Structure 1
Amino acid sequence: MHPIRKTFDTNESFPLSFAYKNTKSSLSELPDHFHDWYEIVYVYRGQGTFFIDHTFYDMKQGDLFLIPGNTIHRATPDKELPVTSTAIYFSPSLAQAPNLDEAFSYLRSFEQAAELRNYKFETLLPQRQQIEFTLESIQTELKHSHLGQRQAIYLKLLELLLYLQRELGPERKTTNGDSSVGPLWMRDILLYIEQHYCDDIRLTSLAKQASVSPAHFSRVFKQLIGMNITTYLMTKRIIRAKQLLSESDVNIGIIAEMCGFDSLPHFHAMFKRMLGMTPAAARKAMR
């Protein structure tokens, strides 16, 4: 089973989607998925677990998650106290800052989260009040079709991104993963995979490293991550390949080899199956 590549049914001229104060359940949440858009998730109340990239995070009141595009993630709400949260999804093209001779990017907080491999931020009460006020303002605009509705929502999004960048600066309180989900060896294995997923990694060697049987490893991995180890590795490699196609002019065959694929035809087949287009078409679309 491949993770879901989520797409958004919105007007191309306004690439933004808003889900306000939704109370989650295990049935309503998507399984492991990723998408090109960036995502902000703010938690009002409840509990749960968020798996992002390679780390499990606890979800609780006041937590804020910044998820860059093409990042594997899955939320698992608590059965007794499910999470109520707001999510904003938007294309990074919507948040391009004009050149005002400042070294500034509306997406810098997401870039820092990716650099630190740390996607959770614990907010203080004044920060919560400001974030909740802005999210409520966006919801109000969506409910009433006033003149300049999209422009107002767009400006409020930029205001929120600017606020988060100022508040979630170098001194911000972050966490390197705080969930007690699963055995300790699983967290160690996920970190190892994150550092070596383009290498020749096999189930037997991972199970040996974790000091468990391959059957037990497979069962626990699928239960906690939502997909088997082969699919997880394949997804990480394809996402990395897409990044390299976007950022460099390196030959596609070399990129396939760099990302751990044995042959170019296999790379083409897996890339198209997961992203719906060939590597060459993806490179052209991202330029």
Structure 2
Amino acid sequence: MKFFYQDWHFDSELPMKIFSQNDISFHAHCHPEVELIYVESGSLIIGVNEEKRRVSQGNLVVCGSNDIHYFENDGSDSKVIVLIFKPELLGGLRIWPDEFQFTSPYVTSNIETEHVSKLMYSILQENNKKSLNGFAMITKGLLLQLCGMLQRYIPSLPQDKEPLEQRARMQKILSYIEENCCTEITLESIARHFNMDPHHFSRTFKSTLGINFKTYLNTVRISLAEIKLESTEASITDIALECGFSSIRTFNRVYKSLRGRTPSKLRKS
């Protein structure tokens, strides 16, 4: 995903990021980096590939390389620790997991997550000691231990190639939507682009992402519009048209339905 994930600014010596965030919400996306989400408090809905669950305090979600995942905030308070890192930190791997897959990305057992949460907190604390000698080595050691614990205690099975192929196609679809979201895209045109029957495309898209194609397209457009609203002085009308909406009226209606407020309030906040 380009305008959301190109600017992580990973350190060349230690390509990872860890941060704590309240009430996270983000539309479906994927990237080669591994992403671990630990719920510190409250609850939220997280979708990973074809699964979608409410996760609560003490739960962990493991998003492996190129897993399609998203966060939904339905008004519940939540606080999560998010750890994102390049698989190469685990010994030159291109993806992780590589030769196996976890039976589920959702880890809810207190026994399993107790050790993992301690390591997540340790990495988060170490992240504040970047100026100290040995920071990168200690952090990498904690990360290796964390992934080793996940591989040891979370049930897994051999990698199934068929879901990977299906996921790869969906990744291409998501990239296509992002690259062309400002142009006119219809269900029929994108299905034709990927040589799929429109009805099959619609069913596959919704079963994977939890929302229909039109809602997802509007979500991407709104997310891009919000970036422009906060970072440019362009008028709301110009931004609406630049982001693929046919009129300011349509933009206002869609924005309010997805965000619960008008775009003008974002610019005033």
Q: TM-score range by the shorter chain?
A: 0.5 to 0.7
Residue 91 of structure 1 aligns with an amino acid whose one-letter code is K
Q: Distance in 2 between matches of 1:196 and 1:157?
A: 30
Which residue number in structure 2 is paired with residue 150 of structure 1?
136
C-alpha RMSD of the superposition = 3.6
CA contact (8 A) 1:59 1:83 kept: no
Q: Distance in 2 between matches of 1:24 and 1:111?
A: 32
Which residue number in structure 2 is paired with residue 112 of structure 1?
101
Q: Compute the displacement of 1:111 (Å).
A: 3.8
Which residue number in structure 2 is paired with residue 37 of structure 1?
33
| Residues 232-247 of structure 1 aligned to structure 2 (within 5 Å) | none
Residue 87 of structure 2 aligns with an amino acid whose one-letter code is P
CA contact (8 A) 1:38 1:67 kept: yes
| Residues 2-17 of structure 1 aligned to structure 2 (within 5 Å) | 6-7=5-6, 8-17=8-17
Q: Compute the displacement of 1:127 (Å).
A: 3.0
- Please give the TM-score of this superposition, normalised by the length of structure 1: 0.53
Q: Compute the displacement of 1:194 (Å).
A: 6.4
List alignment gaps of at least 5 residues for structure 1: 99-105, 172-192, 211-219, 229-287
Which residue number in structure 1 is paired with residue 120 of structure 2?
135
Q: Distance in 1 between matches of 2:92 and 2:10?
A: 22
Residue 85 of structure 2 aligns with an amino acid whose one-letter code is F
| Residues 251-266 of structure 1 aligned to structure 2 (within 5 Å) | none
Alignment CA distance shift 1:206-1:128 (3 Å): closer
List alignment gaps of at least 5 residues for structure 2: 158-165, 174-193, 205-210, 219-269
Question: Which of structure 1's runs of 4+ aligned residues deviate more than 3 A?
Answer: 2-5, 106-111, 193-200, 204-207
Q: Deviations over 1:211-262 (max 9, x none)?
A: xxxxxxxxx61476x238xxxxxxxxxxxxxxxxxxxxxxxxxxxxxxxxxx
Between the two proteins, the alignment pairs up a number of residues equal to 181
| Residues 34-113 of structure 1 aligned to structure 2 (within 5 Å) | 34-79=30-75, 81-96=76-91, 107-108=96-97, 111-113=100-102
Identity %: 17
| Residues 263-282 of structure 1 aligned to structure 2 (within 5 Å) | none
CA contact (8 A) 1:68 1:111 kept: no
Q: Distance in 2 between matches of 1:122 and 1:109?
A: 23
Q: Deviations over 1:199-220 (max 9, x none)?
A: 742324566x79xxxxxxxxx6
CA contact (8 A) 1:39 1:68 kept: yes
Alignment CA distance shift 1:222-1:108 (3 Å): closer
CA contact (8 A) 1:67 1:110 kept: no
